[in-house]
């Protein structure tokens, strides 16, 4: 598969990151439906996050609070990366078009 100018079509990195996030969500959905809950050590930061008001009342896409914490964490990290990469890609394409029109 090639573009008009003979360059190969590549999947941008931000699309791979978004795909990985969606696959992770599908895994969480399957684990939540089957009630397979990871066995974590009690106490510590994860338990405090699971019992926080935001996770226990506002952000509850899953029945398992650990999956809610992981989803919130990965959504913040991965989706910020996706957003910044997509914006960088958009501006670099505009710059390429300007250079192509000048030449």
- Domain coverage including residue 76: 14-36+44-102
d(CA 63, CA 67): 8
Q: How many residues does the chain have?
A: 103
According to the model, what pLDDT value does residue 89 have?
80
When pLDDT is cut at 50, 70 and 90, the band that residue 30 belongs to is very high
Q: Please write the tens of the pLDDT for every residue from 81-93.
A: 888 888 888 887 6
Would you say residue 6 lies in a domain? no
75 within domain boundaries = yes
CB-hemisphere CA count at 13 Å for 22? Answer: 7
Number of separate domains in the chain: 1
- The Cα 66–Cα 72 span in angstroms is 10
Residue 5 lies in a domain: no
Q: What is the per-residue pLDDT across 1-29, written as a single tens digit (0 to 9) for each? A: 455 566 667 777 778 888 888 999 999 99
């Amino acid at each position: 598969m090639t573009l008009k100018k003979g360059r190969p079509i590549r999947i941008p990195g931000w699309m791979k990151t978004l795909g990985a996030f969606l696959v992770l969500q599908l895994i969480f959905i399957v684990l939540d439906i089957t009630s397979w809950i990871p066995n974590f050590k009690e106490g510590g930061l994860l338990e405090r996050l699971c019992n926080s008001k935001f996770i226990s009342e506002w952000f509850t896409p899953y029945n398992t609070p650990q999956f809610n914490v992981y989803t919130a964490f990965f959504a913040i990290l991965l989706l910020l990366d996706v957003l910044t990469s997509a914006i960088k890609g958009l501006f670099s394409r505009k710059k390429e078009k300007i250079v192509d029109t000048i030449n």
